A and B are shown apart, each in its own frame.
Chain A
Amino acid sequence: MTEQHELPVERDPEIAALLREHLVIHNEDAFVASVLTRVRADQRESSWDILARWAPLGVAATVILALGLGVLLGWEIRQEAAPPVAPTTSSNTMAQWVTSPGPVTNDIVLAAVLDGDRWLGAMPISEGSR
C-alpha cells in the first residue's frame, strides 16, 4: 500500500477490498427475522406499557371509589342501627319527678340518675347535712 496525500475524491479500491474482506456478514435472513421478531415483541410490550402507564391512575380511582362507597355504606348502616333518640323534654328531670302527680316512668328515673348530681348541686345545702 502506498501513502496518499491528497484529500479523497474517488473510492480507494484497495481499501474497499480490504474492508470487504474484513466486513463479512452472514445469515441475512436470520438477521432480518430476528429484527422483525423484536419489533413485534416491542409492539406487544408497548401495549403493556400503555396499560402500565394507566395502572396507577386506575388503582387510585378504585381506592377513592371504594373509600367513598365504604363511607356511604357505613353511614347508612349507622343510620339504620342507631336507636331512635327519645325526645328529651325539660320535664324529664328530677324536678318533674318530684312535682309530677302521675306514676314515675322509666324515663323520669333515668333522667333523675343522669341529672341527679346537677340537681343536688343546685339544692341549698344546710350546715347540718355536712
Chain B
Amino acid sequence: MPEPDEVLAQRAQEGDERAFEDLVRRYAAQARRIALSILGTPEDADDAAQEGFLAVWRHLDRYDPERAFRPWFLRIVVNAATDLYRRRRVRAAQPLRDSERGRAAGPDRETDRALLRDRLRAALAGLTDRQRVAVTMFDLEGYSHAEIAAVLQVPEGTVRSLVFHGRRNLRRALAPYQGEGT
C-alpha cells in the first residue's frame, strides 16, 4: 500500500529527497494537466508545474502534516500557473487564426485532433482562471467540490457555480464547431 501523501511530505520536510521524488511522481501528471488547462500550451504548463514543485520543495517547512497535503500542494501549482498565465495573457488569449477557423475537418484524423485542441484552447482561454481550474479538477481529475474549494480558497457553493458557468461557457464556445471535428 502506498504511503500517504502526508507521511511522504513529513519525510521530505526532514530532508528525505526520495520521499519528495515519490510525491513528484505521484502528482506530476495532475499538476501538468491542471497547469495546461490554465495556460494552454504544454511548454508553459511544464514551466508552471516545475515552478510549483520547486516552490513546494522550498516551502515544505510551512506545510502542516496534520492537514491534507493534496490541496496545499495543488494550490501552489495553481498559483504558479495563474501567475504565469497573467504574465502571458496576451499570447494565451489570442483568437484562432482565420485559416484555422474556416478550415473544414480534413480526412487526416491527426489534423482534426489538432484543430479540436486549438478550439478547446481558445474556449478555455475564454473562461476565468477559477472556472478553468474548477472544471478541470472536477470533470477531468475527479476532485470533490470540497477539495477544489480548499485549493481555490473559496466556499464549496462557489465551486459548484464555477463548474456550472465554466461548462456552459465551454459548450457555448464550442457550439459553432459542433459536427466538424468533435
Let me know if B152 is at the binding interface, CB within 8 A: no
On chain B, the residues within 8 Å of A4 by CB distance are 164, 167-168
Select B50's contact among A3, A15, A35, A40, beta carbons within 8 Å: A35
Interface string of A30-42 (1 = CB under 8 A from B): 0110111011101
A8 touches B33 (CB 8 A): no
B53 touches A15 (CB 8 A): no
Give the total number of A-B pairs whose CB atoms are below 8 A apart.
102
Select B138's contact among A3, A6, A11, A22, beta carbons within 8 Å: A11
A32 touches B24 (CB 8 A): yes
A35 touches B168 (CB 8 A): no
Complex Cα gap A28–B175 (Å):
33
User: Are A11 and B139 also in contact (CB < 8 A) when A3-B171, A21-B113, A28-B29 are?
Assistant: yes
Q: Which residue of B lies closest to A27 (CB)?
A: B46
A42 touches B54 (CB 8 A): yes
Select A35's contact among B24, B124, B140, beta carbons within 8 Å: B24
A19 touches B28 (CB 8 A): no
A21 touches B117 (CB 8 A): yes
Q: Which residue of A lies closest to B116 (CB)?
A: A21
B124, chain A: closest CB distance, angstroms: 7
Tally A residues with Cβ within 8 Å of B: 30
CB proximity to A under 8 Å, residues B148-182: 160-161, 163-164, 167-168, 170-171, 174-175, 178, 182
Interface string of A1-35 (1 = CB under 8 A from B): 11110111001100110111111111010011011
A19 touches B49 (CB 8 A): no
Complex Cα gap A32–B21 (Å):
8
On chain A, the residues within 8 Å of B139 by CB distance are 11-12, 15-16, 19
A107, chain B: closest CB distance, angstroms: 79
Of the listed residues B29, B46, B139, B163, the one surrounded by the most CB atoms of chain A closer than 10 A to its CB is B139
B120 touches A18 (CB 8 A): yes
Known: A21-B116, A31-B28, A36-B24. 13 other contacts (CB 8 A): A1-B171, A4-B164, A15-B139, A22-B36, A22-B116, A23-B33, A23-B36, A24-B42, A25-B36, A34-B46, A35-B50, A35-B53, A38-B53
Q: List 6 A-B contacts (CB under 8 A).
A: A1-B175, A4-B168, A19-B140, A20-B140, A22-B116, A28-B28
